């Protein structure tokens, strides 16, 4: 989703810890997830979830588990000593993991398909053309790229990331706990019948 949340947290952390390129690659992953949910929303994923509630339950539990594991890794890693400033912890990170992390973080959020399908149901006419639907999905993709690129650019500035590095362990602990809490919430909350 485009509102500040897990996606925003991921881009923020990557921009400050791994640099602008890692955050921009995650941005493309997030925007791809937004587009995937947009297409699914336009083509009626809400109807599928109503017809097969177990699919939504599977998405919630799987997404919650993914977020919990990512949060636990972040929290556990916050207790380790960080490499010296200016030395990336893993130089290959930006090319091998950032896009995937962005995509999976967005796709693991079970609120995203409900949000997107509700948005389409409320904003589009009942029999909207495929062209209109694809235009809306494209617009969502562009907005996500623009917003998270701005976040990545601003937060990867040297003076901003230096301030973050001073507080990194506490921010990582809080972020890890937030991911774990949301993962538990997503996996355990009851579906409205």
Average pLDDT score over residue span 70-99: 68
pLDDT at 1 over 50: no
> How much is the average pLDDT of 43-62?
76
Identify whether 96 is part of a domain.
Answer: yes
Are the beta carbons of 46 and 118 closer than 8 angstroms? yes
**pLDDT of 172-191, one tens digit each?**
888 889 878 888 887 887 76
Tell which residue, 58, 75, 68, 100, has the closest CA to residue 176: 75
Does the structure show a pLDDT above 50 at 86? no
* Inside any domain, residue 193: no
Q: Indicate the pTM of the whole model.
A: 0.71
Does residue 120 lie within any of the structural domains? Answer: yes
Is residue 1 in a domain? no
List the domain range (segments joined by +) for residue 102: 6-188
**The pLDDT value given to residue 2:** 38
Tens-place pLDDT, residues 4-51: 477 888 898 888 888 899 999 999 999 999 999 989 888 876 677 777
Whether residue 160 lies inside any domain: the answer is: yes
pLDDT of residue 84: 47
Q: What is the mean pLDDT of residues 60-71?
A: 80
Tell me which of 68 and 93 has the higher pLDDT. 68
Total domains present in the chain: 1
Q: State the average pLDDT over residues 96-105.
A: 89
Please report whether residue 70 resides in a domain: yes
Q: Which two tokens stand for residue 23?
A: 């955050």
Residues ≥6 apart with Cβ < 8 Å to 141: 31, 32, 34, 35, 38
Is the predicted pLDDT of residue 88 greater than 80, yes or no? Answer: no
Distances in Å between the alpha carbon of 80 and those of 31, 89, 170, 181?
A: 31, 12, 12, 22
Confidence of residue 99 (pLDDT cuts 50, 70, 90): very high
- pLDDT tens, residue by residue, 114-166: 777 666 766 677 677 889 889 989 999 999 999 999 999 998 888 887 887 78
Judge whether 150 lies within some domain.
yes
Q: Would 58 be classed as within a structural domain?
A: yes
């Amino acid at each position: 989703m485009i509102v500040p949340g897990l996606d925003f947290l991921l881009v923020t952390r990557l921009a400050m810890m791994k640099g602008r390129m890692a955050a921009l690659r995650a941005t493309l992953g997030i925007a791809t997830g937004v587009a995937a949910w947009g297409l699914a929303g336009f083509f009626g994923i809400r109807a599928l979830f109503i017809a097969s509630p177990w699919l939504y339950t599977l998405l919630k539990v799987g997404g919650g588990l993914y977020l919990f594991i990512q949060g636990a890794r972040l929290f556990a890693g916050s207790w380790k000593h960080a490499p010296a400033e200016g030395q990336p912890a893993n130089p290959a990170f930006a090319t091998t993991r950032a896009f995937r992390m962005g995509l999976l973080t967005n796709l693991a959020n079970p609120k995203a398909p409900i949000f997107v399908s509700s948005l389409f149901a409320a904003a589009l006419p009942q029999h909207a053309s495929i062209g209109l639907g694809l235009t809306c999905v494209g617009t969502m993709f562009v907005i996500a790229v623009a917003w998270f690129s701005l976040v990545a650019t601003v937060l990867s500035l040297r003076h901003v990331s230096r301030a973050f590095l001073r507080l990194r362990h506490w921010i990582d602990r809080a972020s890890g706990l937030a991911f774990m809490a949301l993962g538990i919430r997503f996996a355990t909350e009851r579906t409205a019948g």
